[in-house]
Structure 1
Amino acid sequence: MTTHDPTTGSAMSRAGLRFWSAVLAVAVFLVDVLTPLEGAVAVLYVVAILLAAKTSRRNDIIVAAAGCVVLTITAYLLSHDLESIASPALRALVSLAAIGITTLLALQNHAATTHLAAQARLLNLSHDMIFARNRGGVITFWNKTAEQAYGWSADEALGQLADKLLQTTYPDRRETIETDLLDTGRWEGRVQQRTKDGATLTVDARWALQHDRLGKPVGVLETHTDVTDRVAAHNALVRSEQRYRRMFDASRIGVIEEDWSELRAALQSLETEGAGLRDHLAQHPDFVRRARRLARITDVNPALQKMAGANGASPFIENVDLLLGENDRSFLGALIAFAEGEPFYEGETELVRLDGRKVPVLFTITFPPGPDGDRNVLAFVVDITERKQAQDALLAAQAELAHAARVATLGELSASIAHEVNQPLAAIVTSGEAGLRWLRRDVPDLKEVAATIVHVVAEGRRASEVVARVRTFLKKAPAQQDSLDIAEIIQEAALLVARELANDDVALTVETEHGLRPIRGDRIQLQQVLVNLLVNAGQAMSDQRGSRTITLRAGAVDGERLAITVQDSGPGIRPDDMPRLFDPFFTTKRDGMGMGLAICRTTVEAHGGQLSVESTPGAGATFRLTLPYSPEYARP
Structure 2
Amino acid sequence: MDTMKPQYRTYVQVMLLSLACVILIWLADAVLDARYTSQTLWQSLLSLRPHEYILRGILVFLGLMVALESTVLWEARARVRRQLEESEAKYRALFEAAPAGVFLELLDGTIVECNDRAAEMLGYTKEELCGKRAADVVPPEIAQTFPAFVERELRDGWAMVEAKAKRKDGSIFPTEVGTRLVHLAGVPYVVVYVQDITARKEAEMALAAEKERLRVTLRSIGEGVITSDVDGRVLLMNPIAEELTGWRQEEALGLPMDQVMHTLDPVSREVLPPGTLAVLADGRPKPLERYECVLVGKDGREHVVLETIAPIRDDAGRALGAVVVFRDITEQRKMEEERQRALRLGSLAKVASGIAHDFRNYLSSILTNVSLAELCLDQPAEAREAIRRVRQAIKLAQSLTEQLLLFSSGREPERRPGNIADVIAGAAELATSGTSVTCRLSLPPDLWLISMDVTQMNQAISNLVLNAVQAMSQQGVVDIVAENLFLPENSALPLPAGPYVHIAIRDYGPGIRPDDLPHIFDPYFTTRPNGTGLGLSVAHSVVQRHGGHLTVESIPNQGSTFHIYLPAAEPASSTTAAPIMERPAAEHQHRVLVLDDDEALCISLSLALNYLGYYAECARTGEEALARFEKARAAGQPFHAVIVDLAIAGAGMDGKQAAQQILQRDPDARLIVTSGLQDDPAFCRYQEWGFAAALAKPFDISDVVRTLQHVLGLSSRTQLGG
TM-score, normalised by the number of residues in structure 1? 0.50
480 and 136 in structure 1: CA distance in 2 versus 1, 3 angstrom threshold? farther
Q: Which amino acid aligns with 1:395?
A: Q
2:161 is aligned with 1:225: no
- Superposed CA deviations along residues 249-287 of structure 1, whole A, max 9, x for unmatched, are 5654344555662xxxxxxxxxxxxxxxxxxxxxxxxxx
415 and 249 in structure 1: CA distance in 2 versus 1, 3 angstrom threshold? closer
135 and 309 in structure 1: CA distance in 2 versus 1, 3 angstrom threshold? closer
| 2:305 corresponds to | 361
2:397 is aligned with 1:503: no
Deviation at 1:120, TM superposition (A): 0.7
Q: Give 1:570's match in structure 2, choosing from 493, 501, 509.
A: 509
| 1:385 corresponds to | 330
| 1:253 corresponds to | 223
Q: Which amino acid aligns with 1:570?
A: G
- Determine if contact 1:170/1:190 at 8 Å carries over to the other structure: no
Measured on the aligned residues, the alpha-carbon RMSD in Å equals 6.6
- Determine if contact 2:279/2:288 at 8 Å carries over to the other structure: yes
470 and 570 in structure 1: CA distance in 2 versus 1, 3 angstrom threshold? closer
- Determine if contact 1:129/1:223 at 8 Å carries over to the other structure: yes
Q: Give 2:90's match in structure 1, choosing from 105, 118, 129.
A: 118
Deviation at 1:121, TM superposition (A): 1.2
Deviation at 1:189, TM superposition (A): 1.2
497 and 168 in structure 1: CA distance in 2 versus 1, 3 angstrom threshold? farther
Deviation at 1:220, TM superposition (A): 3.0
| 2:294 corresponds to | 350
Q: Which amino acid aligns with 1:339?
A: A
507-516 or 249-258, which deviates more: 507-516
Aligned-partner Cα distance in 1 for 2:144–2:317: 37
- Superposed CA deviations along residues 396-428 of structure 1, whole A, max 9, x for unmatched, are 2333333344345557867996899799999x9
Deviation at 1:149, TM superposition (A): 5.3
Instruction: Please list every run of 5 or more consecutive structure 1 residues that lacks an aligned counterpart in the other structure.
Output: 1-100, 262-294, 437-451, 628-636
Q: Which amino acid aligns with 2:399?
A: R
- Superposed CA deviations along residues 60-113 of structure 1, whole A, max 9, x for unmatched, are xxxxxxxxxxxxxxxxxxxxxxxxxxxxxxxxxxxxxxxxx9999999878755
2:283 is aligned with 1:341: yes
333 and 129 in structure 1: CA distance in 2 versus 1, 3 angstrom threshold? closer
2:131 is aligned with 1:186: no
Aligned-partner Cα distance in 2 for 1:362–1:209: 63
Deviation at 1:187, TM superposition (A): 1.8
Deviation at 1:571, TM superposition (A): 4.2
- Determine if contact 1:330/1:348 at 8 Å carries over to the other structure: no
414 and 478 in structure 1: CA distance in 2 versus 1, 3 angstrom threshold? closer
Aligned-partner Cα distance in 2 for 1:508–1:168: 111
2:398 is aligned with 1:468: yes
433 and 393 in structure 1: CA distance in 2 versus 1, 3 angstrom threshold? farther
- Superposed CA deviations along residues 160-208 of structure 1, whole A, max 9, x for unmatched, are 5555457698498233223323433322112244667988654322112
| 1:141 corresponds to | 113
Q: Which amino acid aligns with 1:499?
A: A
Aligned-partner Cα distance in 1 for 2:199–2:207: 12
SS in 1 for 2:152: helix
1:527-538 superposed matches below 5 A? 531=463, 538=469
163 and 250 in structure 1: CA distance in 2 versus 1, 3 angstrom threshold? same
1:447-458 superposed matches below 5 A? none
| 2:102 corresponds to | 130
- Determine if contact 1:501/1:507 at 8 Å carries over to the other structure: no
Aligned-partner Cα distance in 2 for 1:230–1:529: 81
- Determine if contact 1:552/1:567 at 8 Å carries over to the other structure: no
Bigger helix fraction:
1
313 and 127 in structure 1: CA distance in 2 versus 1, 3 angstrom threshold? closer
| 2:177 corresponds to | 205
Aligned-partner Cα distance in 2 for 1:226–1:625: 84
Q: Which amino acid aligns with 1:390?
A: M
Deviation at 1:560, TM superposition (A): 7.1
Aligned-partner Cα distance in 1 for 2:203–2:105: 32
Deviation at 1:157, TM superposition (A): 4.8
Larger Rg: 2
- Superposed CA deviations along residues 101-140 of structure 1, whole A, max 9, x for unmatched, are 9999999878755542332112223333323344564544
Deviation at 1:352, TM superposition (A): 3.6
Aligned-partner Cα distance in 2 for 1:192–1:254: 42
Aligned-partner Cα distance in 1 for 2:206–2:428: 74
- Superposed CA deviations along residues 434-463 of structure 1, whole A, max 9, x for unmatched, are 999xxxxxxxxxxxxxxx9xxxx9999987
Q: Give 2:345's match in structure 1, choosing from 400, 410, 428.
A: 400
| 1:97 corresponds to | none
SS in 2 for 1:341: coil
Aligned-partner Cα distance in 2 for 1:231–1:509: 91
2:497 is aligned with 1:558: no
- Determine if contact 2:119/2:126 at 8 Å carries over to the other structure: yes
2:261 is aligned with 1:331: no
- Determine if contact 2:478/2:506 at 8 Å carries over to the other structure: no
471 and 154 in structure 1: CA distance in 2 versus 1, 3 angstrom threshold? same
372 and 615 in structure 1: CA distance in 2 versus 1, 3 angstrom threshold? closer
Q: Which amino acid aligns with 1:505?
A: V
**1 or 2 for the larger relative contact order (CA 8 Å, sep ≥6)?**
1
SS in 2 for 1:569: coil
- Determine if contact 2:174/2:196 at 8 Å carries over to the other structure: yes
Q: Identity of aligned pairs, percent?
A: 21
201 and 321 in structure 1: CA distance in 2 versus 1, 3 angstrom threshold? closer
254 and 165 in structure 1: CA distance in 2 versus 1, 3 angstrom threshold? closer
